[in-house]
């Protein structure tokens, strides 16, 4: 949903509801995911996966590495 969405906890505002939702996980400290290899914390699954691929050399799944949709 497009519009004007402001975080209730800080001054950040977003054009998309989804962006605010992702930000709230970080701002509110909810939905914390930890790396099973090193314990580093992430608020979004895509950030955790990217970290594991780049830092722990975990192979991308066939879906992630495929260029054909």
Confidence (pLDDT) at 51: 96
Residue by residue, pLDDT tens for the chain (69 residues) are 788 999 998 989 999 998 998 888 788 877 788 999 999 988 889 999 999 999 999 988 755 544 454
What is the distance between the alpha carbons of residues 19 and 13, in angstroms, rounded to a whole number?
9
Nearest to 46 by CA among 66, 67, 27, 25: 25
The values of phi and psi at residue 13, to 5°, are -130, 155
Confidence (pLDDT) at 54: 96
Domains in the chain (CATH in brackets) are 2-55 (3.30.160.60)
Confidence (pLDDT) at 63: 55
Confidence (pLDDT) at 47: 92
């Amino acid at each position: 949903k497009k519009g004007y969405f402001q975080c209730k906890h800080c001054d950040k505002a977003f054009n998309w509801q989804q962006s605010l939702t992702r930000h709230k996980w970080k701002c509110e400290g909810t939905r914390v995911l930890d790396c099973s290899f090193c314990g580093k914390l992430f608020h979004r699954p895509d950030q955790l996966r990217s970290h594991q691929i780049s830092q722990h050399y975990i192979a991308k799944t066939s879906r992630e590495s495929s260029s054909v949709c």
